[in-house]
Structure 1
Amino acid sequence: MHDVVEKEPEREQEKEAEDEVEAKVIEEPEEGLVVVPPSVPEHLREAFWAQKRAVLQALQDPPDVEGVDVGGRGKALAQLSELLAGSAVRDEGNSCLILGPKGSGKTRVIEEALRELKPRPIIVRLSGHAQINDRLAMKEIARQVSSQLGTSWGQDEDEEMINVETNDFAALPPPAHLPALISSLPSLPRPTIIVMDAFDLFTGHARQALLYCLLDTVQSIRVGEGHKGLAVIGVTSRLDTLTLLEKRVKSRFSHRTIRVGTPATLEGFTGLAKACLTVSPPATSKEWNKIWLASVQRFFESKNVVDWFAETFSIVRSVPLLRNALMSKVVMLKPEAPWLSDDLPRPESHFAQLRNLSYPTAVLLIAAAHRLTSGQAIFTFAALESDFKEYVRIVQSAPVQLAGGSVGMAFENLVEAQIFESTTAASSNFDKRYNKYRCAIEREEIRLAIDRTGQTNLKKWFSRSL
């Protein structure tokens, strides 16, 4: 009994010794192990703000991932560079379509390819969102060419010159000048590259005259005849863009399509995020670099972050969603709380906008799906209303109002939610019923929304569009 009592103090002393050893391990990390402090030390505050600015800039323009061809951007760059060299160096006529989802790096590929061109060609940038008709496109082409040549171009002598400084739209060139304006591009002193963003919107212009003149001029260029090269580069995220071209326009297009996609693997998806977060700002200290890299490594080792990347990649594989999620965390960083938290927002699809559909809204979505199946990706309210009435005639029990405005309200709600997107500019002289729209969501998402309604008639009618 006496021996047991004597051993208890010894055990207590051993336990205290073990606690002291553990405390030393925490307070004195092994050599090479970086300790991430709870806040930024005063002498590293400037480096913290520089790191934050560098990461935000990298998230807006993601850098290349070493050893990984993210979304095939390297292959796309090589293909586009070769095509542009044909026009800028060998004076060829070329056309192609850059196709890829939003945020996949289409614009970046184009800008990198343009920077490689020597000598510098004339570069004209158009946008289907800004140049909503051919007259505005003609004016913009003339303005940009005149600015780069340093002299007026594209105007008749008795016409008022375009005011480049004020961007005056008072004197727009008449549409009849379009063929003459475009056909004179090869006679310029330098090759011309025309980049058309939102290329699908240009297909909605009257008779597709601008596209026809551009592609016809490209096709007519012959090497060795004294003309300069011309290249037309269309940029779009719509897979069905080529089907929107008229037959005469399609026959003059080269049908060369360069695809830029999202990362094909989870490793590439995660690697893109790491490349953005580990970018090094200029003139920063080695001490800060070690601390920041250790905090980023801890962030990616978190189970919540690992699960978030796997879930996001499997559901949407969206680079914009990835950038926005990380950006929302980076902008909140401050010296008192300088490290990334692992509570990233959960990924959602467009389906979140389609919950609790009204009956008229569901029918309009099904009508749009039917139009898409029949090759009519572009539709008007009048066309969908006609389909709606036909459906109500067949299904006598449909709980809708044809004269009470419910159809129009449902259509306006879909436009407001950007589920139906306008492909033409609104005009006060044009009946709104005939404005052109397209459906921005996929057929599968419409099917899921219809299934949630529980309406057998709707499900049967939708099945006809498959």
Structure 2
Amino acid sequence: MPKGILTPRKGKPDGDRLRRSVVFDDDRVDEETPDERPAETPSRSTRKRSQADEASKTEVQEIDEGPESDQEEYDEVCAICSKPDSAPPNEIVFCDNCDMAVHQECYGLAEIPEGDWICHNCSQDDVPSANSLGPRQTHSSVAARDVQRPDIPNFEQHLRSAQRVLLDRCTGRRRIKLRGQDEAYDKAYQLIEQTVVAGEGNSMMVIGARGCGKTTLIESIIADMSRLHEGQFHVVRLSGFIHTDDKLALREIWRQLGKEMEVEDELTTNYADIMASLLALLSHPSEIAETQDGVTSRSIIFVIDEFDLFATHARQTLLYNLFDIAQARKAPIAVLGLTTRIDVVESLEKRVKSRFSHRYVHLSLPKSLPAYWDICKQGLTVDEEDMVLEGLNPLLEGHSAFWAWWNGKIEALYKTQEFADHLESHFYTTKSVSAFLTTCIMPLAALSATAPSLQIPPAAGPAVSLEPPDSKLHLLGSLSDLDLAMLIAAARLDIVAHTDTVNFAMAYDEYTSLMGRQRVQSASSGMLALGGGARVWGRGAAGIAWERLVALGLLVPAAPGGRGTAGLGGLDAKMWKVDVALEEIPAAAKLNAVLARWCREI
């Protein structure tokens, strides 16, 4: 809105404000039409000193103050450069939230935005709002934040390039270097090299916790092998999360191999035909690829991520055939299984286990905080030898100055107490590099030429987080009373029956027992006639509730075999583990009096 004599001044206390006597011309007010009234200030308006002059054109008589002091009071200065000049194309723009005044050039605004304009300080959810800070404190903090932009040639171009590379690293689109896994690297590299160079058939399990670098290890070896033996082998990548049965996996193998080996895709409708063609392609590739006799076929590297999920497929047909080809040396293939389960071989059938070579590579998590930071730091900076590989131009003016400034900012951030606490919390809980890099995505994405400061972790406040929840307790609020009753009954058995596994029959018996006890208590207290008797649901409804708990992951399989169950017979036979403790349920969900008593009384 235009500045007027009744507009409160933010910079002066009430005691310093001069008193004024104001007299309005009644005739002028009565004759004023809507068109003559001052129009409301648009959201994108730029307030200048001239607006104070326009406001002064109203019939106002001021006493005890001269025109010079009035003009001086209405002057607005930029919060960054402290200059009052305002002329196109460098006008002063006001924030619609905190009323901060800045020049377009000082704040990096190419043009005046349409609609409401909010400054960086107010648009950040993790920064306290302007209402909680005084006007002088708000302006000075924003000015200090924006003045941090260094005087480096092509600064914005360097910042955008670094932002692109670091975000790709944090999201997993670009691989970071493997640190502290030299022994595992050498062992896996030797096996793949024997397959590619000598044509041997091999199989190996790569075992390690989630986030320790299993995929990075294999992909690094494949990249190094490609530089030395380019075009001499194929790579087939499968994932247990995506290829949930052998049919999907076979189609994907045929698609990848058929595309690389230029085989016509004509047998994609029949499972048996695909299996027969795939076995012939792997065992005798010269017959299908029409190569000359005596020419060695190219090696094939199978990378099977989440290998333990493939062990849950019916009869494990795909694993049996792959291991059989590798062991019999019908074709030069290497089968690499990546898994987090150390007992994954025990879930293999006897015929599959007999064809596995029983070679293992175990990857360990970082053993010290400096070693953990040495890996995580790759998501926040780029080494000098990786500049060209990552697509950064070292010949661009200002390259060395920018990265010297950026690396200095990262080292200063590492020494702050807030960042140290954030890093230690990840190291002492999960030691997962990917989990830490996930927390860096939002701060890196928020960088700009006017706000180049990196803040990890973000300041306290309602901010968007990409981290997964710590547990599944947040799901309990969406469950029905029957779902909660079955979950509580299963969790009680862990304490009452001294067992860590439970099936549907055991949980339903406990549920009916608790409901029968509740009906007796209600009858003895006279509440049954008043509607206090709770309904006992049948096995069919309880079975649907049990399946819902399985689908949400609140019940996890206690033995290999997947989550699929066929009818109530399957529910009765399969054993499960409850993923939440009994004492955690009341705090995570709003329970009625009956269910709350079940959690308290054992």
Using structure 1 for the length normalisation, give the TM-score.
0.69
Letter in 1 for 2:380: L
Cα contact 2:504–2:546 (8 A) shared by 1: no
Give 1:132's aligned residue. 244
Deviates more, 1:228-237 or 1:341-350: 341-350
Give 2:275's aligned residue. 178
The structure with the largest alpha-carbon Rg is: 2
Deviates more, 1:242-251 or 1:320-329: 242-251
Structure (1 or 2) with the greater helix fraction: 1
Matched, 1:277 2:412: no
Cα contact 1:196–1:233 (8 A) shared by 2: yes
Deviation, 1:263, is 2.0
Deviation, 1:455, is 8.3
Select which of 442, 449, 457 maps to 1:335.
Answer: 449
Identity of aligned residues (%): 22
Matched, 1:219 2:324: no
Secondary structure of 1:233's counterpart equals: strand
Deviation, 1:325, is 0.5
| Post-superposition CA distance 1:398-453 (Å, at most 9, x none) | 799442846633642552367659986989xx7598599997997xx647747979
Select which of 207, 222, 233 maps to 1:99.
Answer: 207
Letter in 1 for 2:366: P
5 Å matches for 1:35-434? 37-39=147-149, 41=151, 43=153, 44-59=155-170, 60=172, 61=174, 63-64=176-177, 68-69=179-180, 72=181, 74-117=182-225, 118=229, 120-152=232-264, 161-162=266-267, 169=268, 171-174=269-272, 178=275, 181-182=278-279, 185-188=282-285, 189-221=297-329, 227-279=330-382, 282-283=392-393, 285-344=399-458, 349-350=470-471, 353=474, 358-364=484-490, 384-392=503-511, 397=517, 401-403=536-538, 405=541, 408-409=544-545, 411-413=547-549, 415-416=551-552, 420=556
Using structure 2 for the length normalisation, give the TM-score.
0.55
Give 2:92's aligned residue. none
Cα distance in 2, alignment partners of residues 293 and 419 from structure 1: 46
Structure 2 regions of 5+ residues with no counterpart?
1-144, 286-296, 459-464, 519-533, 589-594
Cα contact 1:96–1:232 (8 A) shared by 2: yes
Cα distance in 1, alignment partners of residues 197 and 444 from structure 2: 44
Letter in 2 for 1:38: Q
- The root-mean-square deviation of aligned C-alpha atoms, in Å, is 4.3
Letter in 2 for 1:262: L
Deviation, 1:363, is 3.7
Cα distance in 2, alignment partners of residues 304 and 86 from structure 1: 48
Secondary structure of 2:376's counterpart equals: helix
Relative distance call for 1:40 and 1:215 in structure 2 (3 A) is same
Give 1:27's aligned residue. none
Relative distance call for 1:412 and 1:307 in structure 2 (3 A) is same
Relative distance call for 1:365 and 1:229 in structure 2 (3 A) is farther
Secondary structure of 2:199's counterpart equals: coil
Secondary structure of 2:366's counterpart equals: coil
Structure 1 regions of 5+ residues with no counterpart?
1-34, 153-159, 163-168, 222-226, 377-382, 462-466
Cα contact 1:316–1:349 (8 A) shared by 2: no
Deviation, 1:150, is 2.1
Aligned length: 390
Deviation, 1:300, is 0.9
Cα distance in 1, alignment partners of residues 152 and 223 from structure 2: 41
Deviation, 1:88, is 2.0
Cα distance in 2, alignment partners of residues 458 and 111 from structure 1: 49
Cα distance in 1, alignment partners of residues 219 and 474 from structure 2: 35
Relative distance call for 1:161 and 1:91 in structure 2 (3 A) is same
Cα distance in 1, alignment partners of residues 599 and 346 from structure 2: 28
